[in-house]
Amino acid sequence: MTTIHYREIICDGYSTAEIVDEHRSFDLKHFAEACGQSPEWVLQLLEYDILPTRPEERIHQFFGEDVTRARKAYRLQRDFDASFSAVAMMLDLIDEVQQLRRQVRHAHIQDS
């Protein structure tokens, strides 16, 4: 069994969880267990660039922050009956929106 340390954040009525120990590494088997999925499913995440690209010698090394992204990918796949390529595109768009929101917030703070 794999133990993952995380914290739940509640802001504006929304609850999110984030991994506390982002630097802990997992091998393929333990990462799949932490995600509640099969190793084959995890390999699909790598094939579709849903998880960050790794050097060849570390292809099956995963980190705590990868668990968050993989779980988000699973929810998108399940909720929208989406293919891996659709999930990859959705996650890229979500990342871009979050980055733009941070930039707007930062610009708004500087203007105040």
Amino acid identity, residue 62?
Answer: F
Domain that holds residue 62: 6-111
Question: What pLDDT shows up at residue 88?
Answer: 98
Q: Is residue 63 part of a domain?
A: yes
Closest C-alpha to 44, from 77, 15, 22 = 77
The verdict on residue 32 lying in a domain is: yes
Residue 28 is assigned to a structural domain of this protein: yes
Q: 1 in a domain, yes or no?
A: no
Look up the CATH number of the domain holding residue 88. 1.10.1660.10
Tally of domains in the chain: 1
pLDDT of residue 82: 98
pTM for the predicted model, two decimal places: 0.74
DSSP state, residue 52? P
Instruction: Flag whether 67 is in a domain.
Output: yes
Has residue 81 been placed in a domain?
A: yes
pLDDT tens for the chain, 112 residues long, are 555 555 555 555 555 555 545 567 889 999 999 889 999 999 999 999 999 988 888 889 998 889 889 999 999 999 999 999 999 999 999 999 999 999 998 888 887 7
